[in-house]
Copies of this chain bind each other. A is one copy, B any other.
Amino acid sequence: MANEKIEFTPIGYFRSSQVHPYEAGRQPDSHHSEGVIELASGQNFEQALTGLEGCDRLWIIFTFHHNQHWNPMVLPPRGSDTKLGVFATRSPYRPNNVGMSCVKLKRIDKLKIYVEGADLLDGSPILDIKPYVAYADSFPGSEPAWLSSSEKFTVQFSEAVSDDLQYLENHGLSQLRGFLLHQLEYEPDNSRKKRVKATDDGFVIAYRTWRASFKIIESGDIKTVAVEKIFSGYSAEELQAVEDPYADKKLHRDFLNR
């Protein structure tokens, strides 16, 4: 028994525009955009989906396919500034790299299941899909002790930032808004946990080749993150150069020249 191996074959793969591990939500939520579970063909999975359209929410059981190692102790993304045992956290680096996400079902088209609010990365192998059943799965108010001490910020976008986000979304960059809302909600200035840097008058957080500057305002019990500016992570010189490894320089140039 000690060396027993258990073998699974993915029933399909997840497809989304979330590619890099740091882009994934800390937990599934609706800030994050849509994704598709593409089931394998030729295995009767069409039949196995019968009745799934009547489910409001689904569990996806998947693997963290980028991760090949684990550590017994990890620093969680929020709520604790000391390391915790991996079993007490939802860290993706685990002895068995299995994950579970509750997502909203949008629609089903043959072997494609469109969902919303997944914290899975593009290419994640899917092991199982189960219906969410509140009487067995829902326990409101049940949080780990180390999490309940965390303090939430309200993330506010300036008018300019709202316009910029709208422009970028209209031009295909759909994830930046959710990334900012999610990353800045808790411990916005924690550079051990986030791609954030202190500047002379605030902070800058990085999302792919984009940057956002923000200030932290605490007044009594009210905690606010004010996102003030969206800007390109490319220098003027870099933007002029021909090489374009992320195939996104046109959007940056258009954004600057609009």
- Find residues 1-56 in chain A having any chain B CB closer than 8 Å to their own CB: 1-11, 13, 27-29, 40, 43-45, 47-52, 54-56
Pair A48/B130 contact, Cβ less than 8 Å: no
Closest Cβ of chain B to A176, distance in Å, is 22
**What 9 A-B pairs come out closest when comparing CB atoms?**
A54-B145, A27-B136, A50-B85, A51-B88, A47-B72, A51-B84, A48-B72, A52-B88, A44-B72
Pair A9/B13 contact, Cβ less than 8 Å: no
Instruction: Please report the total number of A residues contacting B with Cβ < 8 Å.
Output: 71
Q: List 24 A-B contacts (CB under 8 A).
A: A1-B10, A4-B9, A6-B63, A6-B125, A27-B133, A27-B135, A48-B72, A49-B87, A50-B72, A50-B73, A51-B80, A51-B145, A52-B88, A56-B143, A57-B142, A61-B96, A94-B128, A96-B128, A98-B98, A98-B127, A100-B130, A132-B144, A138-B138, A138-B139
Interface residue A141 (Cβ < 8 Å from any Cβ of B): yes
The CA of A60 and the CA of B80, in the complex, are separated in Å by 23
Pair B139/A144 contact, Cβ less than 8 Å: no
Point out the residues of chain B lying under 8 angstroms from A52, CB to CB: 85, 87-88
Number of copies: 2
Choose from B45, B125, B136 the contact partner of A4 (Cβ within 8 Å): B125
Given A6-B7, A10-B6, A147-B133: A127 in contact with B50 (beta carbons within 8 A): no
Point out the residues of chain B lying under 8 angstroms from A129, CB to CB: 87
Interface residues of A (CB under 8 A from B): 1-11, 13, 27-29, 40, 43-45, 47-52, 54-57, 59, 61, 63, 72-73, 80, 83-90, 94-96, 98, 100, 102, 125, 127-147
Choose from B6, B48, B144 the contact partner of A73 (Cβ within 8 Å): B48
Pair A55/B133 contact, Cβ less than 8 Å: no
Closest to A58 in B: B87
Pair B98/A8 contact, Cβ less than 8 Å: yes
The CA of A99 and the CA of B244, in the complex, are separated in Å by 45
The CA of A89 and the CA of B48, in the complex, are separated in Å by 9
